[in-house]
Amino acid sequence: MLAAVLVTGCAAIARGPSVPGSAGSSQRTVKIVLLESFSGDRAAVGRRAENSLRVQADLLNARGGLLGRHLEVVAADDESNATKARELAREQLTDGQVQLVVGPGTSATFDAVKPLLRQAQLPNCVTAAADATMAAAPFSFRAAPSDRDRLASLISYLRRSHPDVRSIGLIDSGEQPARFGDDLLAAQAGGSGLAYVGRASPGPGDPDAAAAVQLLTSRGAQAAFVSGPP
Residues 138 and 156 in one domain: no
Q: Give the pLDDT confidence score for residue 217 in this predicted structure.
A: 95
Same domain for 130 and 200? no
Task: Give the end of a domain, one of 106, 126, 142.
Answer: 142
- Give Cα 6 distance to the centre of its chain: 16
With a cut of 50, which residues of the chain have pLDDT below it? 12-25, 230
Instruction: Quote the number of domains for the chain.
Output: 2
pLDDT on residue 4: 52
Reading phi first (left if > 0) and then psi (alpha if -120 to 50, else beta), residue 59 is in: alpha
Domain co-membership, 71 together with 168: no
The last residue of one of the domains, among 142, 162, 195, is 142
**SS3 per-residue string spanning the chain:** CHHHHHHHHHCHHHHCCCCCCCCCHHHHEEEEEEEECCCHHHHHHHHHHHHHHHHHHHHHHHCCCECCEEEEEEEEECCCCHHHHHHHHHHHCCCCCEEEEECCCCHHHHHHHHHHHHHHCCCEEECCCCCHHHCCCCCEEECCCCHHHHHHHHHHHHHHHCCCCCEEEEECCCCCCCCCCHHHHHHHHHHCCCEEEEEECCCCCCCCCHHHHHHHHHCCCCEEEECCCC
CB 84 within 8 A of CB 31: no
> Is the same domain home to 12 and 58?
yes
- Specify whether the CB–CB gap between 53 and 2 falls below 8 A: yes
112 and 206 share one domain: no
| Domain residue limits at 124 | 2-142
**Residue 193 and residue 164 share a domain:** yes
Q: CB under 8 Å to 206, separation ≥6 — which residues? A: 212
Q: Of 142, 163, 186, which residue is a domain's last?
A: 142
76 and 114 together in one domain: yes
182 and 105 part of one domain:
no
pLDDT at 6: 55
- Decide: 76 and 34 in contact? Cβ < 8 Å: yes
| CA-wise closest residue to 180 among 205, 213, 217, 153 | 153
pLDDT in tens, 66-82: 889 999 999 999 999 99
The model's pTM is: 0.67
Q: Are residues 12 and 74 in the same domain?
A: yes
Mark whether 132 and 181 lie in a shared domain.
no
CATH number of the domain within which 35 lies: 3.40.50.2300
Cβ-in-10-Å burial (0-12, 13-18, 19+) of 130 comes to: buried
Q: Are residues 45 and 123 in the same domain?
A: yes
Q: Are residues 69 and 125 in the same domain?
A: yes
